[in-house]
Structure 1
């Protein structure tokens, strides 16, 4: 009787371990396309990603760099103070998008141009995404709101 009880306990434990491993594998498989890594323009220039890789880029929109083309595509340059990357975006830009302001874009780096599928802009005068602040601080460009 005791051996049957031990055998059942081992079977239940093994079944639980297999279920846990299977669930972890399925979650990882489902999330593989949903994770977008952040890169600053300096990181993109230093190690250009593959054209198929989707990632986020952020920094400041360079002054005088916004070019509105004939169609719906808008071109501009994003910088972190060290390097600059040309960005192409087709669609409607956020209302708060402007030059010398922080932005984060999602897309791919193809032939030297970041082709954005989504652009996010700051939502008030003092906010800037943490990743953008970190990248700008790394380049020595970022100043706190009280600094002048």
Structure 2
């Protein structure tokens, strides 16, 4: 085998191994990838039932209802669309109506989002970047909060 052919075989083998490793990593991460949607995007894209997602927006005023000891039902809104959310567990201390929230879970057949984790903003000016971007996209962003998300 000539020197040129050996080099070509070596480079081809290295690329094949790299592609195989990348494919294995992507397959392993497939179940851990979670997409973020705002309420308006969720209404437009209609993800698969049971697919893990994150939704974010503001907790709609007057929508918080306690059902039992640890179960709550509330609506997440971007002022144009809203998504009904149920959550069983302890809510963050800063969770309240009118505040930014990110919920992670699955969308049920009844179009109710079943959250298994809730994240609330942690100080007076912070809002998760995904929520801020979704609110800006909808034209609902409040000035003054812009510098806090950077």
Above 0.5 in TM-score?
Answer: yes
TM superposition shift of 1:49? 1.5
Q: Deviations over 1:29-87 (max 9, x none)?
A: 11111111111101112232211211110000011111111242111111001011110
Question: What is residue 53 of structure 1 aligned with on the other side?
Answer: 51
- Name stretches of at least 5 consecutive residues in structure 1 with no aligned partner: none
Written as runs of structure 1 = structure 2, the 5 A alignment for 1:33-52 is: 33-52=31-50
Q: Aligned equivalents of 1:146 and 1:81: distance in 2?
A: 17
Question: What is residue 138 of structure 2 aligned with on the other side?
Answer: 139
Structure possessing the higher radius of gyration over alpha carbons: 1
What's the TM-score, normalizing by structure 2?
Answer: 0.88
Q: Aligned equivalents of 1:144 and 1:67: distance in 2?
A: 30
Structure 2 counterpart SS, 1:74: strand
2:125/2:145 contact within 8 Å kept: no
Q: Aligned equivalents of 1:37 and 1:59: distance in 2?
A: 14
Question: What is residue 125 of structure 1 aligned with on the other side?
Answer: 124
Structure 2 counterpart SS, 1:52: coil
TM superposition shift of 1:127? 0.5
Structure 1 counterpart SS, 2:31: coil
Q: Aligned equivalents of 2:15 and 2:74: distance in 1?
A: 52
TM superposition shift of 1:8? 3.4
The size of the alignment, in residue pairs, is 145
- Name stretches of at least 5 consecutive residues in structure 2 with no aligned partner: none
Q: Aligned equivalents of 1:47 and 1:146: distance in 2?
A: 28
Question: What is residue 62 of structure 1 aligned with on the other side?
Answer: 60
What's the TM-score, normalizing by structure 1?
Answer: 0.89
Q: Aligned equivalents of 2:11 and 2:44: distance in 1?
A: 49
TM superposition shift of 1:143? 0.8
1:48/1:109 contact within 8 Å kept: no
Question: What is residue 100 of structure 2 aligned with on the other side?
Answer: 102
Structure 1: 4+ residue segments shifted above 3 A: 3-8
